[in-house]
Amino acid sequence: MEGAAQQRRLLPQKLDDATTFTEIHVDGTTAEYRYLIGAGYELQNFAAFERGVRAKVCASSMKSAVESGASFVYTYSAAPPSNRQLLSFRISSCP
């Protein structure tokens, strides 16, 4: 959570052709990461996508924060003009 201010200075950050990391918000022990999915791209299989993100978080240094009570919320929205929320999920435990 301490790195949020540093990360925020680097935003927006294009991660790949489809995804732009746009915002990070921290409230207590919860950090929310917001992303835009570019026009012409869509998330096909939400459950598989969420499992992939969860696996990455739980295999990283973020796992110790989760085990200490932190939560991470990931929110993905369509690019303008729709800005429609496509997917949002919380990671508050690791297997």
Separation of first and last alpha carbons in the chain: 21
| Domains assigned to the chain | 14-91 (3.30.300.250)
pLDDT confidence bin for 2, thresholds 50/70/90: low
- On average, the pLDDT of the chain sits at 92
The separation between CA 91 and the C-alpha centre of its own chain, rounded to angstroms, equals 10
Q: What is the pLDDT of residues 55-76, one digit of tens each?
A: 999 999 999 999 999 999 999 9
